[in-house]
Amino acid sequence: MNKDNIALWLKERFCKACKVATNQIESTDSISSFGIDSVVLVTIAVDLEEFLGKEIDPTIFYEFDTIEALSIYLLEEILN
């Protein structure tokens, strides 16, 4: 598992939630700009827990507001 795998997984989930093509979201875009409500973020967090095999607090999406920043945090702090 590396940062790019995590970022790609997140990007795919956010694109699916936003109903947009993967080329419409960049890893440096603000997650808050995606217009996703908290219910969807909780669902993504649950899926992320399954993907990583680690417990994830849904508030993480507010603390790390880009896919890039979130991917780095997940790799360095959650998976290590």
Average pLDDT over residues 28-55: 95
Q: What is the chain's mean pLDDT, rounded?
A: 95
Delineate the domains of the chain, giving CATH numbers in brackets. Answer: 3-78 (1.10.1200.10)
pTM of the predicted structure, to 2 decimals: 0.93
37 in helix, strand or coil? coil
With pLDDT > 90 as the criterion, what percentage of the chain qualifies?
A: 98
pLDDT of residue 80: 86
- Residues 21-38 have pLDDT tens digits of 999 999 999 999 999 999
Nearest alpha carbon to residue 29 among 68, 79, 58, 3: 68
pLDDT of residue 11: 97
* CA-to-CA separations, 11 to 23, 33, in angstroms, rounded: 10, 13
